[in-house]
Structure 1
Amino acid sequence: MSTTYGRSPGGYFWAVAEPAAGIALLSFAFSLAIRAPSLGNNFALFYATGYLPFMLYFDVARRVSMSIAFSRPLLMYPPVTYIDALVARWLINTLTHLLVFVIVIMGLWMFYDLQFILDHSAIARSLIMASGLALGIGVLNCFLFAMFPLWDRVWGILNRPMFLISAVIFTPEVVPEPFRGWLLLNPLVHVVGEMRRGFYPTYDAAYLSYVYVMAWIAITMALGLALLRLYRARIMSTA
């Protein structure tokens, strides 16, 4: 926390306040343009239930991907390993986004006087899946960024449309076939669907597959850790 946020005025406060304020502004802007969400009658809540898990994944994965680059001086000490750097980045940023989640949902509840019927287990599963997916993709990209610097730019380009194809501002049910089937190949669609199941009791998200998301998490994490272990000497020598 001190090395990442300590140099700016306000420190860690902005790590929470900035995304929370950004979500509030974007929710307000989208609510003016799209008055009838796919679920419920409050677009701010509908948007937040998609955007919050998406941003948890997106931001945490990006920061975990840069773990070795950011923690390079600490990795010179023998007791500190790349696992320490990965876990530290994942943990602090996941906790930050969980705090943002609570602040935004509480803010919407008070501002709009919403009456929630929450499925806490579904909300928890969505957050766990988003965090796990961020860790898996982040670990794999940590290796790829270190070994192939060009992959950083390629990955940035590939992620440009992710916001649009992750069902953040719509539900998969409104997408016709065969495009819906292609959309469901994105594991984030399942993560967002599970979050909305937690807030909308009538939404069953029949397309949702826990096994599919967990397979993504397990494969990317196992592959990333294996490659980092195999090439750690080369990565550290070029770091």
Structure 2
Amino acid sequence: MLAAMDSQGRVIFAILLREARVRHGRSHLGYGWAVIEPVALILFLTLVFSQLRSSGISGYDFALFFATGVLPFNLFRTSSQYASGALEANRPLFHYPPVQPVDAVLARVLLESATALLVMGLVFGAQIAWLRAPPPAHPLQLLAVLGLAATLAFGVAMCLATAREWLPSLGHLYGVLMGPAFLLSGIFFSLHAMPEGARDMLVWNPLIHIVEGFRSGYLAGYRAPELDLAYLAWFAGGSVVLGLALTLTFGRKAS
């Protein structure tokens, strides 16, 4: 069993390296551009929105409040969106028996998640160094939430990747839907501060639990009474089970 796991791990790592070369190898900056671009964008948005709302939110500096929302959200968004195209992009590899469709999806999720973590480190490091932002209050909670976000991204990506074999336009539709999700996942607001009716609806959105969980793990004293990590865990686990069932049943259609 250990030998099989080691072999599959090598397959996933090989696909991950291939994905990194294909996606970033054509740029002069290579992988560095994949990090520089989102860091620059987030810092720019932070500067713009900080000027528009200099008073902060829920008693916290807006720059830090915004970063603790947009960064975990982006980990899920970029990982799930990029990994949903894994079957189509790696179609020739599935002629080799050791390579499974699940491996291709997982490799893309790992690559994007690693990039998102590096971006987080740079953004928060810059805020701590230059804006005197506090360090994370509960690092273990941050790791748990990010793990759940990556797990949810993996499950959603498997479902989308399989569905895109029959509905190729689904990838574009998913990208469009991420626009409203960006506005409804607590990036610009605290869930606890919303009217009760809005809270009752928003609480069903698993992405808002990613944001609230990350934010309450970073900001000391942040109130998140509606946070339900168990709900997020069940949702993420359910998406993985469904995604595995779909990918293992229909994923080989990609070959």
Could you tell me the TM-score, scaled by structure 2's length?
Answer: 0.87
Q: Partner of 2:75 in structure 1? A: 56
> Which of residues 15, 21, 33 in structure 1 aligns to 2:52?
33
> Which of residues 192, 213, 223 in structure 2 aligns to 1:173?
192
2:156–2:239: 8 Å Cα contact kept in structure 1? yes
1:145 corresponds to 2:185: no
1:102: Cα distance to partner?
A: 0.6
How many angstroms apart in 2 are the aligned matches of 1:57 and 1:145? 19
How many angstroms apart in 1 are the aligned matches of 2:172 and 2:76? 19
Q: Partner of 1:189 in structure 2? A: 208
CA separation of 1:121 and 1:149: change in aligned 2, threshold 3 A: same
Q: Partner of 2:10 in structure 1? A: none
How many angstroms apart in 1 are the aligned matches of 2:107 and 2:190? 34
Cα displacement string for residues 193-221 of structure 1 (whole angstroms, at most 9, x for unaligned residues): 11111222211311011121111111111
Q: Partner of 2:107 in structure 1? A: 88
Q: Partner of 1:24 in structure 2? A: 43
The amino acid that maps onto 2:49 is F
1:168: Cα distance to partner?
A: 0.1
1:7 corresponds to 2:26: yes
1:178: Cα distance to partner?
A: 1.1
Q: Partner of 2:174 in structure 1? A: 155
Could you tell me the TM-score, scaled by structure 1's length?
Answer: 0.93
1:39–1:200: 8 Å Cα contact kept in structure 2? no
1:110 corresponds to 2:129: yes
1:234: Cα distance to partner?
A: 2.9
Q: Secondary structure at the match of 2:234?
A: helix
How many angstroms apart in 1 are the aligned matches of 2:144 and 2:58? 20
Where structure 1 has 5 or more consecutive residues not aligned to the other structure, the ranges are none
The amino acid that maps onto 1:79 is P
Q: Secondary structure at the match of 1:220?
A: helix
Q: Secondary structure at the match of 2:140?
A: helix
1:226: Cα distance to partner?
A: 0.6
How many angstroms apart in 2 are the aligned matches of 1:7 and 1:213? 37
> Which of residues 57, 61, 86 in structure 2 aligns to 1:42?
61
Runs of 4+ aligned residues of structure 1 deviating over 4 Å after TM superposition are none
Where structure 2 has 5 or more consecutive residues not aligned to the other structure, the ranges are 1-19
> What is the RMSD computed on CA atoms of the aligned residues?
1.5
> Which of residues 135, 138, 142 in structure 2 aligns to 1:119?
138
| Corresponding residue pairs, total | 236
How many angstroms apart in 2 are the aligned matches of 1:116 and 1:2? 34
Q: Partner of 2:226 in structure 1? A: 207
1:192: Cα distance to partner?
A: 0.7
1:147–1:235: 8 Å Cα contact kept in structure 2? no
Q: Secondary structure at the match of 1:52?
A: helix
Q: Secondary structure at the match of 1:160?
A: helix
The amino acid that maps onto 1:159 is M
1:231 corresponds to 2:250: yes
The amino acid that maps onto 1:112 is L
Q: Partner of 1:101 in structure 2? A: 120
The amino acid that maps onto 2:203 is L
Q: Partner of 1:133 in structure 2? A: 152
1:117: Cα distance to partner?
A: 5.5
Percent identity among equivalent residues?
33
2:94–2:252: 8 Å Cα contact kept in structure 1? no
